[in-house]
Amino acid sequence: MATKKDALLISGTLLTLFLVAWHLFTLRQDFDPKGFTEDQLMTMEFNGDIVRTSDGGYVWNPEKEKVKGVPGPLSVLEKARTELEEAFVIKGTNDHGIAYLVLYTVTRFGAGFLAASVVAIMLGVLLGLNKVLFQAVNPYIQILKPISPLAWMPLLLYTVKDPKWTAVLVVFMAALWPTLATTAFGVNSLRKDYLHVAAILQLSWFKRLFKVILPGAAPTIVNGLRISFGSALVAVVPAEMLLGELGVGYLSWIEWNNLDIAGVIFAILVVGVVGVVLDSGFNKLAGLVTYQE
């Protein structure tokens, strides 16, 4: 218990240190007109570097400040506050609230990952049970596995002609291979004893699959799913960016196009939070099907 408390304390301290350092490094002094001639000040105002305030002084132009250097934690916080306030607001075709963007990304990710998992587990079991088939197909899996899922995108876009489905398919491609390879391995290396027991008990094909083979290979399959999960999560962000599909990945790109760096940092943080939430959900599910030998 004490160690957990210590770890929490250290985490908190590290975060505070990081935020303070970030704040200090990105801090800019207020504009000081001393040392500038009247002409220079006019040029700067004309260029939009500074603006005149109501009381006759000059300050840095807040609009231009947004893209100058890296924004500090306070401006990111301010950005987050406004985004979260408008989380459920749809302002235009490409300007949906952050809640919608998260929903789109999670749906896209979920559809691609689930479809890939079902296909990969079914094919994996088939290959795992048939050594000849496995040896015949394995070279192709080995070639296809290392291809970045994004490399498929032009071909997929050309084939399905719809960016919405292309994004799902990119996630699908990212999630397919690790699960396929590990499922085939897990089923293939299932202890022969379990199959012997199933054979003696004359279990039907269906029972053999669901009572013995799948639960027996479950820990290995879950490991494959975990790798697939990570690679699908990595693929969904650039897929959205390249295809212009609304989502948290696209948010980061939109904010970059807006030259709103605070917005980019906010989008990165949202991607992180979505990933953590999905991952913990996955781990809960994984815990249900694994066993100790």
Partner 1 sequence: MAFLEIDHVTKYFPSPSGSGQVCIFKDATIKIEKGEFVTTIGHSGCGKSTLLNIIAGLETMTEGGIILNGKEVTGPGLDRMVVFQNFSLMPWMTVFENIRLAVRAAYPDWDREKIAAHVHKYISLVGLKGAEDKRPTALSGGMKQRVGLARAFSIEPKVLLLDEPFAQIDALTRGVIQEELVQMWNATRNTVFMVTHDVDEAILLSDRIMLMTNGPSARIAEIVDVTIPRPRSRDTIIEHPHYYKIRNHIIHFLVRHASHGETDAGSGAEQAGGAAPLVVKF
Which residues lie near partner 1 (CB under 8 A)? 191, 193-194, 196-197, 199-203, 207, 211-212, 215-216, 218, 291-293
CB of 199 to partner 1, least distance (A): 4
> Residue 211 or 226: which CB sits closer to partner 1?
211
Show the DSSP H helices in the chain as ranges.
2-26, 38-47, 62-65, 73-85, 98-129, 131-144, 153-160, 163-188, 192-200, 205-207, 214-243, 248-257, 261-289
> Residue 204 or 283: which CB sits closer to partner 1?
204
CB of 190 to partner 1, least distance (A): 11
Rounded to whole angstroms, what are the CA distances from 278 to 102, 282, 283, 284? Answer: 11, 6, 9, 10
Q: Classify the phi-psi angles of 56: left when phi > 0, otherwise alpha if psi is within -120 to 50, otherwise beta.
A: left
Phi–psi pair at 50, nearest 5 degrees:
-130, 160
> Residue 18 or 210: which CB sits closer to partner 1?
210
> Residue 16 or 290: which CB sits closer to partner 1?
290
CB of 135 to partner 1, least distance (A): 18
Whether residue 113 contacts residue 175, with contact meaning beta carbons closer than 8 Å, is answered with: yes
CB of 227 to partner 1, least distance (A): 22
For the record, the structure tokens of 109 come out as 């990710």
> Residue 158 or 291: which CB sits closer to partner 1?
291
CB of 202 to partner 1, least distance (A): 6
